[in-house]
Amino acid sequence: MLETKSPPPRAQPSLKRPHRLALATLAPRTFAFCHTFGLTVWIALAEGSGWSLMLPGLLLLLWPAVAYGHASLAQDSKRAEFRNLYFDSLLFGIWCGVLDYYLWATLFIALACFMNNMVVGGPRRMAISAALFTVGALGWGALTGFHFRPYVSIGLDIYQVAGAVVYFLAIAHVMYGQNRKIGRSIIEIKYKNRVFHALLDLGVVANRASDINTLLDDSLKHLHADFPEYGFAVFLQERQRPEVTRYAAVAGLRLGPEDERRLGSLLGAVHEHHEGAIRLSETSDVEQLYATAMAGRLSLYDGWLVVRAPKLDGALERMLTLFVDQLAAATENKLLHLALQKTAERDGLTGLYNRGFFESALQQSIRGKARPPGLDFAVLMMDVDGLKEVNDRHGHVVGDQLIFTIAERLMMQCREDDILARYGGDEFVILFPSADLSAPARMADLIRTHLEGQRCALTSAHGERVEVTLRLSLGYASSSETPAQEVLTLADNRMYDDKTQRRKNRVPG
């Protein structure tokens, strides 16, 4: 036997919240049709038509509910409401014919129908509405005969004019409410666009920043530029010591040193895992300070984003959460980048720049010498005398301590712009950008005065105290005396000449 599959049951329509247009027109439509029913009752009583006119008029009371149900059940409630407005025009046109074209009713009802369709659809919909109203009015007259009732009573005229005024004011109120919603939507969209652009700016700032302080300062400056009505501050506190603020930045907030310390202490006392924004204190009658935690977003620090604002609303709290996430991510990435950069550029034992970084900086100086204005540079090479003997006699632990001690003492003599690097096992080198031969000569004198011949106490792997005398062979050269590509070679040769001469002059024993 062949089995036939029955078609799936059709989904039953269900009531749902209709389009805002259907909601907006419900009250005015209900008023208009109830008012027209009252007009019908008045005319029926005045002219003795009785229930022959009032019973059909009950349809006027049913139509607003039918129209709302139609919009609620329709798949496209907006399109359904457009059809309801057309049917309003047709039904009112017919009813004006039923009322024998009572002058004030016909005039005001027609204007109301035309205005409703004009507001939602422009001139084209208004023309269709006028056509439907005319068809309804003339069609009823063609079926039943044309009878005209231009006037009933002064009381009915007042009733009709008053109802028309109330209806038009109600429509104006509805339009005002819709315009306010549209205005709020536009403001919200603009606000979201500002937030979006601010987040993009933060991403650009994070990529350009060279360190955490620059990252935080520039980020808050961009935030304040995008949101000048707010003031911002950020604090990163050590996780183990929350009372210690490691990094801080402020933009658009007037905080003195005492204010920053007080705020830092206050933030340190707040539970680090507090969710959402918290109110800190009032700064004036109309402004407060709010803080949002970076808890769980940073690996090394606990951070806070502080904002000065008139009040904390949902939009501001969402904005703060987004900015906190962005700042925390940028800070964490920058910390990781700096850690990796330090690992790549620094010597693991001494913390000085390594050979790779030095050679890159040297090539940059060589290129600077080749381009106008031809800036000179100089190099000082150093070699630790006797490191092999120390390693052989006392072990590599003592040898490493000796290298570390010399690195520390060399750093104390270097200026901020000098590039000190560990070039090899027992070799150090200093690059002096934008300097002539006087810079390395001055440094060599300082080393001879403060390092050469000094005794340093070290500890062997077995805990024994070892004293070692510091001795370094030096050689320096500058691009002012030799081609830029040969400066390092010349300094290296002079260093070995110095080492050879020192060995000859060393007294045995």
In a domain, 14, yes or no: no
Tell me the helix, strand and coil percentages in the chain, rounded to 5: 60, 15, 25
Do 28 and 176 sit in the same domain of this protein?
yes
The pTM of this model reads 0.54
Q: Which of 267, 224, 221, 222 is nearest to 243 (CA)?
A: 267
Read off φ and ψ for residue 249, nearest 5 degrees: -150, 145
DSSP string, 89-103: HHHHHHHHHHTT--H
Q: Which of 111-115, 446-450, 474-478 has the highest mean pLDDT?
A: 474-478
Give the model's confidence band at 479: pLDDT under 50 very low, under 70 low, under 90 confident, else very high: very high
The CATH code of the domain that includes 429 is: 3.30.70.270
Residues 367 and 493 reside in one and the same domain: yes
Residue that terminates a domain, selected from 295, 316, 345:
345
Separation of alpha carbons 61 and 465, rounded Å: 107
pLDDT for 103-132, tens place per residue? 998 999 999 999 988 988 899 999 999 999
Whether residues 236 and 372 fall in one domain: no
Output the DSSP codes for 363-401.
Answer: HHHHHHHHSTT----EEEEEEETTHHHHHHHH-HHHHHH
pLDDT at 243: 64
- DSSP-derived secondary structure letter, 76: S
Q: With beta carbons less than 8 A apart as the criterion, state whether 308 and 292 touch.
A: no
Confirm whether 9 is domain-assigned: no
- Same domain assignment for residues 292 and 438: no
* Same domain for 359 and 339: no
Q: Does 254 share its domain with 326?
A: yes
Instruction: Indicate the residue among 277, 312, 345 that finishes a domain.
Output: 345
Same domain, 273 and 372: no
CATH number at residue 216: 3.30.450.40
Residues 242 and 139 in one domain: no
DSSP 127-144: HHHHHHHHHHHHHHHHHH
- Position 1 scores a pLDDT of 37
pLDDT of residue 244: 66
Mark whether 61 and 173 lie in a shared domain.
yes
Structural domain contains residue 213: yes
Tell me whether residue 188 is in a domain.
Answer: no
d(CA 66, CA 71): 9
User: Is residue 332 in some structural domain?
Assistant: yes
The verdict on 164 and 281 lying in the same domain is no
Would you state the structure tokens that stand for residue 475, as one six-digit string? Answer: 């050689």
Examine the domain organization and report whether 380 and 407 are in the same domain.
yes
pLDDT in tens, 68-86: 998 889 889 989 999 999 9
Helices first, then strands: H and E counts in the chain: 13, 11
- In a domain? residue 89: yes
How many CB atoms are closer than 10 A to CB 210? 10
Range of the domain at 322: 209-345
Which candidate, 276, 212, 219, places its Cα nearest to that of 245? Answer: 212
Res 270: pLDDT: 58
Please tell me whether residues 34 and 174 are part of one structural domain: yes
Give the count of domains, the chain: 3
Any domain includes 2: no
The residues, ordered by sequence, that sit 6+ positions from 487 with a Cβ below 8 Å of its Cβ are: 377, 378, 379, 477, 478, 479
Q: Would 310 be classed as within a structural domain? A: yes
- End-of-domain residue from the set 319, 345, 371: 345
